[in-house]
Amino acid sequence: MNRDEKKAAAAAWKERKAPAGVYALRCTASGQCWVGRATDLDAIEKRLMFSVRMASTPHRTLLAAARAHGGEAFAFERLELFEDEDAGPELRDALLKKRAEFWREELGAQAL
């Protein structure tokens, strides 16, 4: 990949529309579940899966599960997508927070 192609790829990445939403991270070995919200689900999925594979996360319960079962025991699930592009960031954040709380109660999950 030459320099111009790298610049074009970086520009395309910055201009893409990131999917916002609510997600669950499940440990298939222990049955534990964590729910969170993000304005970029693609980025948070990559970040969380890397952190559990490396067993280096600031969330104590997630860290303990990652150390006990390994990163292969985790699955990322998109629970809800937020597609309203007309809503401002404050409204979007409030809605994501409310929906994340709903899913935590629904699944009996911990917060991320």
Residue pLDDT, tens place only, 91-110: 888 999 999 999 999 999 99
Residue 68 has pLDDT above 90, yes or no: yes
Q: What is the mean pLDDT of residues 13-38?
A: 90
Domains of the chain: 18-111 (3.40.1440.10)
Average pLDDT, the chain: 90
Which residue shows structure tokens 């970086």? 10
pTM equals 0.83
Q: What is the mean pLDDT of residues 43-57?
A: 94
3-state helix/strand/coil string of 51-104: HHHHCCCCCHHHHHHHHHHCHHHEEEEEEEEECCCCCCHHHHHHHHHHHHHHHH
